[in-house]
Structure 1
Amino acid sequence: MRSRAGTVGAFARLGVLCVAVSVVLYGVLHVVPPSAGLDWSSRTISQYALLSNGWVFDVATLLLAAGSFAVLVALLRAGLVRGAAVAALLLWVGGLVGVVWFEKHNWAAGPSMSGDIHRVASLVAFLSLPAGALLAATPWLRGVRATQPARLVALGGLVSLLCFSPILWALVSESWTGVRWWRAIPLGGVERLLGVAEVVTVLLLAWWAVRATRPPLMSAAR
């Protein structure tokens, strides 16, 4: 028991550390030139990758992916996730890597296969994390003492989906409004709000993994 709890704690702490550093780097991009000059409300976060300090965005995103993977390992060691939840969380990690590997494209220069893949990777990442959180938490919501962490994880997933809903509405409504979806909403602001919600969800998953390996919670879950 102690060995497993120690392993879970180690991976969870590693994940939290990676995520925390990534958040700091994202914050730096918002206040240090030349990236500080971008309009937060309209420019997406991945726009930073096209600037001279774009490497900071790449490192931050890869750290977020690495931290999320470490948290997933902690969840697996704690016996909290399986099947579809694991697949969804792996898609979140893979989507983040894809966002870096296939750089955002300057669409003013014309179509781009890499740019299309970047968009798909972003969509996969944004949707996979809340799906994974909900899939992971749902089987535990019927527990007794394990419900509090599971409920918070599920809440994080739901809030993330709500933050994504303006993007979905913009995509769907484009057919009858004629307004391109990225102009119909303050896309940069929506994406940043969504990013905050999803980072919090990852941290909640890490906390859940640690809580689940404590003896009272383990005995209650049996």
Structure 2
Amino acid sequence: MPSTALARPLAAAGTAAVLLGILAVGALHVLPPTAEISPVRRTISEYALHETAWVFNLGVLVLALGSLAVSAALAYAGQLRIASVAGLGLLLWSLGLAAVVYFPKHDWAVGPSLDGHLHRVASLVAFLSLPVGALLVVLAWRRDARRRADVWLTALPALAALAMFGVIIGAFLLQPYTGVAWWRAIPLGAVERGLAVFEVLTVLALGRWAWRAATDERKGAFLTDVR
């Protein structure tokens, strides 16, 4: 079996896993007891501090595995070199998500913890590395007419994710001048959820990219055989 033949099943499985992971985390927004958590002020990781934490953890891990499958699909489709900065960015996204689960956020009812600090670092790495890695893939293929739609569908959510990330960084940097704690200066929960939405859309766009590239390769091989 040629390596490109693995790209389509990996892209399909990865996309399905990403959607299932998001469905699991999304359900926590509307089902008790976590439905009472403010999506505007509280971060998504707050769901990991309740009795239904297993749903959150499972959803994030499935999202990480799905994203990893999408990265592999891109590599098998010949669109990504795993041993590259772009490949590293996509890998760090998946590893960062896994670390977010392994190291729970601060439980402020108890106080700050080492796990909470590591959780915050893992979140920053994950949220930043994915759009950067995706944009590097975009830059590598921006002049290929066959990939024009994939380039735009990937670049737009990746840039939007960086913009949302910039809102958080801006609030942090302005903290000494405004005198307002950065997590209070913005609706942190809403901004983080917006960031997460654009990150997921980026992964889905990459999954579509891998599928279409592998399909094009298959069609090309078929035409070659016919000739």
TM-score (norm 1): 0.93
User: Is residue 2:50 matched to residue 1:51?
Assistant: yes
Kindly provide the CA deviation profile for residues 116-154 of structure 1, in whole angstroms up to 9, marking residues without a partner as x. Answer: 000000001110110011011101001122222122212
Counterpart of 1:153, as a letter, is: T
Corresponding residue number in structure 2 for 1:173: 174
1:142 aligned partner: 143
Alignment map for 1:23-62 (pairs within 5 Å): 23-62=22-61
Question: 1:217: how far off?
Answer: 9.5
Compute the displacement of 1:193 (Å): 0.8
Q: Deviations over 1:19-71 (max 9, x none)?
A: 11111111210111110010110000000000111111000000000000000
Map Cα deviations across residues 152-194 of structure 1 (whole Å, 9 max, x no partner). 2122211111122211111111121121111110000011111
- What SS does the corresponding residue of 1:6 show, helix, strand or coil? helix
Structure 1 distance, partners of 2:194, 2:29, is 14
Percent of aligned pairs with the same residue?
48
CA distance in 1, matches of 2:214, 2:148: 14
Q: Does the 8 Å CA contact 2:11/2:207 hold for their aligned counterparts?
A: yes
> Any conservation in 1 of the 2:47–2:56 contact (CA below 8 Å)?
yes
Count of residue pairs the alignment pairs up: 218
Name the SS for the 1:146 alignment partner. Answer: helix
What corresponds to 2:87 in structure 1? 86
Decide which moves more: 50-59 or 209-218.
209-218
- C-alpha distance in structure 2 between counterparts of 1:145 and 1:66, whole Å: 28
State the secondary structure of the residue aligned to 1:17. helix
Residue identity in the other structure for 1:174:
Q
Paired residue type of 1:163? M
In structure 2, distance between residues paired with 1:158 and 1:177: 27
Alpha-carbon contact 2:4-2:217 (below 8 Å) kept: no
Name the amino acid aligned to 2:135: L
The residue number in structure 2 matching 1:7 is: 6
8 A contact 1:92–1:125 mirrored in 2:
yes
| 8 Å CA contact retained: 1:146, 1:217 | no
Q: Does the 8 Å contact 1:5/1:214 carry over to 2? A: no
* Closer/same/farther in 2, CA of residues 127 and 56 from structure 1, 3 Å limit: same
Q: CA deviation at 1:108?
A: 4.6
Structure 1 SS opposite 2:41: coil
1:68-125 deviation per Cα after TM superposition (whole angstroms, max 9, x unaligned): 0000000111111120000011110111001000001113533311110000000011
2:186 matches 1:197: no
- Contact 2:12/2:211 (<8 A) preserved: no
Q: Determine the C-alpha separation between the residues in 1 that align with 2:181 and 2:113.
A: 18
How far residue 218 of structure 1 moved from its aligned partner, in angstroms, is 8.4
Unmatched runs of 5 consecutive residues or more in structure 2: 221-227
1:74 maps onto 2:70 in alignment: no
Q: Which 10-residue stretch deviates more, 132-141 or 105-114?
A: 105-114
Spell out structure 1 runs of 4+ moving beyond 6 A: 216-219
CA distance in 2, matches of 1:3, 1:10: 13
Distance (Å, rounded) in 1 between the aligned partners of 2:179 and 2:218 = 53
1:160 maps to 161
> Secondary structure of 1:213's partner?
helix
